[in-house]
Amino acid sequence: MATTGTEVVLRVAGSAERAEAWSFVLQAVGIPHRVATAEEGAVALIVDEAFAAHAAAALAAQEREGAEEIAREAPAPNQGPTTLGAAIATALIAFFFVTGPRAAAGSAGGPWFGPGSAVAERIVHGAWWRAVTALTLHADLAHVLGNAVALVIFVSALGRWLGRGVALALVLLSGTLGNLATAYFYGSHHDSVGASTAAFGALGLLGGLQIMRRLRVPRSRGAPLPGGRRRRALAVVGACLGLFAMMGVGERTDVVAHLAGLVVGVGLGMATGWWLRRPPRGLGQWLLTAASTLAVLGCWWLAR
């Protein structure tokens, strides 16, 4: 690029971080510039005089797009505080003290693990209810406590977004579909228990809802989606995968089941975010809570 040799101070920032953000924009559009320390700790953005107008227009366009994106992004719904996550965690821990650890049940599985665990071969041959009952069983105390903590965090956030009934139904559905997908993936020789599939389903649901919140932009028909919105949606995917890598991968973890729960949860979350613009209140939430609870009890009745 040809230059005039004359430099001008385009902008002065009060912090280095602000000046670096401007510099990043100019780098992206290929405008030569430099950043220099000014008086009293300020930081100056300096460009060649020949590119000053172009640089000013690029910075103004970026700031305008950012302001429009923030203004148009719908806020996350807030149904108020919920005890759903704590209630589920408490129920799972209490049920663990009824069933005991898996090792104590023996090779036959005892009265709970025998009929209730997610044995892939039996699920694919019709015992679909095991995909639900297995969510309520845990191998040992550390297993149930770990899942309880994850559920308190993710399900509480989901309940605040969707309400207790919708959140409970979707978490149960994501965990069930995740276990079914895992069973059909293995086909046989796979037996698992634990609510971790539902916990990762809850994480995926939150991610899917956030993706749709960022992608839902009021714009004219056929207009392209703003790049900033796409980037923020992809950032949600990256955050979910990062949490999955930290929590869902290990020597004694069922990685396939965790990934299945996450993927199903993201899909259900995106579908819910697209279709359910306003969660039901009051009676609708209680009916879904009761229906989800009865579904779990019904699956145990089929298993027994």
Please tell me whether residue 192 adopts helix, strand or coil conformation: strand
What is d(CA 92, CA 96) in angstroms, rounded to the nearest whole number? 6
| Domains of the chain and CATH, by start | 7-72 (3.30.70.1530), 84-215+223-303 (1.20.1540.10)
Two structure tokens written together for 205: 């649901």
What is d(CA 43, CA 12) in angstroms, rounded to the nearest whole number? 6
What is d(CA 46, CA 54) in angstroms, rounded to the nearest whole number? 13
**Cα–Cα distance list, 36 to 8, 68, 92, 132, 267 (Å):** 12, 30, 59, 62, 48
**Cα–Cα distance list, 114 to 45, 93, 109 (Å):** 69, 19, 4
How much is the pTM? 0.74
Q: Which of 143-157, 176-190, 199-213, 219-233 has the lowest mean pLDDT?
A: 219-233
Across the range 90-105, mean pLDDT stands at 94
What is d(CA 83, CA 106) in angstroms, rounded to the nearest whole number? 35
Condensed to tens digits (0 to 9), the pLDDT of residues 18-55 reads 888 888 888 888 888 888 887 767 888 888 888 888 88
Q: What is the CA radius of gyration of the chain?
A: 26
